[in-house]
Structure 1
């Protein structure tokens, strides 16, 4: 089936690096995963299963369809990280677009989802295709506004009740649109991936480790990696190198001298707590808007315990001046300003945390007036995201092979990781590392054997270690699994 001595080095233990380590490890390959931080999956925040890309009006239908397929694959691979609640798409009255303009794409996605289910019944993970999206007129919302909140909502109408009761109906266009795009939990993915990898004997985890140099072996059939751990320098040889270093991917490219073109964007989401809503289960709500203006998109993402993760696509909230940078002819690594590096590697000031979180609360309160009572919940969720090429609106990217025995993984959305794995597996088959019989196999027994209690317990530990409320590691009680 494979060459037992084949050794694979993966640099970076984020979603891409951890996922491919899991997959290759369960196939029996000898894998070493290098991670700079003390735990896995500690990069830029993610919270949303983009099963159709309905957050992004500006991207192509082709990208949306691909995001739908990738999201289904990702949900099937990591079911324990999904928060099964819908998303409500709202267009403010101040927005230049209309809800009707979104309908052709929604119909396209509904048809694509139906086709995926027809091809494989196991793809029916977003509910029935007929329910992929639901429209709500103002009259329907007025009726729901009179209904009592349901403690464990199951139907679209039950999920919509808190929205109907709290949203300013004079500031939004109708119909409102509910889509089956669910939530994703970063801490639960980190917990599950870590627990699974610890069980695989042929996977070595090297956390708190810095890769300082990489050189091609003299016979050009592998790589010699120099790394530093506990102030000691070590050397090790590998047959294949996978660059999953996230926004630091360019540093690896520079060591290898390969061609590149990429951008890096600093990202932050803000954590608030609305104590009076601690027992209410909400859908996610997206208020569309023009990026970079005071009317930029608002994202209202619920967690248990009245915590809400907030995005506001304005320069006072999520977007930063000089927060998007490109590489130069001299280096593959785009250079973020020192103020961003300090946030990533050290800490946020309390002043900036308070200022930007309160700005985010104010931004969402223009549509949900009672949310003005919310308070700062913790430091922000943050990190830097690599974007291959020169298109900042790109949302679908996976992997490239700029040199022999070298894969550069640059996912933009976490759901792209399964396509990334499939492409790497195809190359490993061609190199003779694996037999073709493994192609297309998706189940990882080390993941399916994890218990809900163990995942939740470890996710809460990671929240504490990273100074976040433990609620951020939990699912809402209405989740299916």
Structure 2
């Protein structure tokens, strides 16, 4: 199949990689009427490293800078406006164990700064009020507050922070945490509803072509155009000619950099999250973060709620989410960091059952240190896993988007999914694909994606979860 763009009136853009970065870029450029081809080697979109929350404000990780927090806040607000049916609207609780050398009060200046920035965003544009009223962005709970909530019954539809905190107050060992406990309007994010939204949108955009089960094998710049060769599912070879090439290959971004001779230094880190079912737990939980020192046995513990008692678990220890030699770096010979073979095999061939069982059980026990009843949970599916690229040399970097090099070549490298829309906008601006002299709202720019109905997205997401072998609860809408 030969697609030649030499006679086209508008440029043709190829985006390689259908993770959250590539899918969002295709949606954004396609909604502006551009001619886009999105190539993904898997059967569907957004099937990479685990996503569980927006990271609005970045308060979940203490080691990142306040400036990154403010960038992530702005990006997350914009992401909610674009992907409104992908969000699970429930708060996040941040607790600091008594064994931790840090104190929760150290977070409060950052929280105040983020709240002030959020207030300014809402004053500038009322459509930005997507994380609740700014004055209620966070709330502090002393032990007496939680002891009071312990005596309450949670309503079927929680109406405020107090209602959401009831299960936490009732189940957590309050002797093991410092005070105050912090509740923040950090929302959850469904990777399956995100994938569903992107795929349903691209299906309706007349100038977008989605090539799944397609693997790029060659890219050559010839007379000002990129000549691409790719293989389909049957290993048949095809070619196309495009004007612009966007590298959105996730942890394999370096391979396309090497192929196109556009070197870039980066790191890649393999991570995993685990799925567990908590039998007979009827409460509607917030997300819960127990802070800790990364990489130690007391590393951060994270409990992310989904529907019907299913939870996603992180533990920032080498026995759970982190892995020996899991953080690798590129070299002068290649822009592609090389993962240890045992981790690469997990990416290509899947996980041995005994490893899934052991690591999930370790994650359950890690949460169970603070929530004793959680030890009754059991593994409920394969891990959500993948490798995450980090451009540059700062492993604490969380706010990153796009860089340009060579001729009509860009690479989108995001560490947090909420940076994807920012990257897509920068593509438009840098390559002058649109007139930005007038301000156009996110809603006006994306009429197709924002016309999708929540129930249709949810059903598509459930189908994707089933096809990928995950519990359907991960795709269902929760929160209010």
TM-score (norm 2): 0.96
| 2:417 alignment counterpart | 414
Number of the residue aligned with 2:251 = 247
* 1:46 lines up with 2:48 in the alignment: no
Distance 2:38 2:414 in 1: 18
Q: Which ranges of structure 2 fall in alignment gaps of 5 or more residues?
A: 1-7
Q: What is aligned with 2:341? A: 338
Question: Deviation per CA, 1:178-210, whole angstroms, max 9, x where unpaired?
Answer: 001000000000011101101112111111011
- Distance (Å, rounded) in 2 between the aligned partners of 1:439 and 1:421: 16
Deviations 1:20-64 (A, max 9, x none): 111111222111111010101101111111111111111111111
Which residue number in structure 1 is paired with residue 403 of structure 2? 400
Structure 2 SS opposite 1:112 = helix
> Are 1:70 and 2:75 matched, yes or no?
yes
Alpha-carbon distance in structure 2 between the residues aligned to 1:346 and 1:199: 33
After TM superposition, give the deviation of residue 442 of structure 1 in Å.
2.2
Q: Does residue 451 in structure 1 map to residue 456 in structure 2?
A: no
Structure 1 position 91, deviation (Å): 0.2
Following TM superposition, by how much is the alpha carbon of 1:438 offset from its aligned partner in structure 2, in angstroms?
7.4
Contact map agreement 1:379 1:468 (CA 8 A) in 2: yes
Q: How does 1:350-369 map to 2 (within 5 A)?
A: 350-369=353-372
Distance 1:434 1:315 in 2: 46
**How far does the alpha carbon of each residue in 1:126-164 deviate from its partner, in whole angstroms, 9 at most, with x for none?**
111111110111111101001112221111110000000
Q: Distance in 2 between matches of 1:147 and 1:471?
A: 27
Whether 1:28 aligns to 2:30 is: no
Map of 1:141-160 to 2, 5 A cutoff?
A: 141-160=146-165
Gaps of 5+ in 1: none
**Residues 309-343 of structure 1, C-alpha deviations (whole Å, 9 max, x = no match):** 00000110001001110011111111112211221
**What are the residue-to-residue correspondences of 1:432-451 with 2, within 5 Å?**
433-436=433-436, 440-443=440-443, 444-451=446-453
What is aligned with 2:116?
A: 111
CA RMSD in angstroms comes to 1.2
* Pair 1:327 & 2:345 matched: no
Residue of structure 1 in register with 2:279 after alignment? 275
- Cα distance in 1 for partners of 2:155, 2:55 equals 26
Distance 2:277 2:227 in 1: 48
Kept in 2: contact 1:284–1:300 (CA 8 A) = yes
Q: Helix, strand or coil: the match of 1:149? A: coil
How far apart, in 2, do the equivalents of 1:114 and 1:403 lie? 40
Residue 309 of structure 1, aligned match among 312, 317, 324: 312
Instruction: Report the CA distance shift for 1:413/1:458 in structure 2 as closer, same or farther (over 3 A).
Output: same
What is the SS of the residue equivalent to 2:431?
helix
259, 264, 272: which one aligns with 1:260:
264
Residue 231 of structure 2, aligned match among 216, 228, 247:
228
* 2:62 matched residue in structure 1: 57
Q: Is the 8 A contact 2:274 2:313 kept in 1?
A: yes
Does the residue aligned with 1:382 lie in a helix, a strand or coil? strand
Deviating more after overlay: 434-443 vs 101-110: 434-443
Q: Give the Cα separation in 2 of the matches to 1:157 and 1:328.
A: 51
Q: Does 1:469 align with 2:479?
A: no
Give the conservation status (yes or no) of the 8 Å contact 2:265–2:393. yes
Q: Which residue of 2 aligns with 1:134?
A: 139
Matched residue count: 470
1:266-294 superposed Cα distances (whole Å, 9 cap, x missing partner): 110000000111x3210000000000101
Cα distance in 2, alignment partners of residues 449 and 104 from structure 1? 39
Match of 1:7 in 2: 12
Q: Is the 8 A contact 2:96 2:290 kept in 1?
A: yes
Q: Distance in 1 between matches of 2:434 and 2:422?
A: 17
Partner Cα separation in structure 2 for residue 305 and residue 441 of structure 1: 36
SS in 2 for 1:178: strand
Runs of 4+ in 1 over 2 A off after TM superposition: 433-443
* Map of 1:285 onto structure 2: 288
Q: TM-score, normalised by structure 1?
A: 0.96
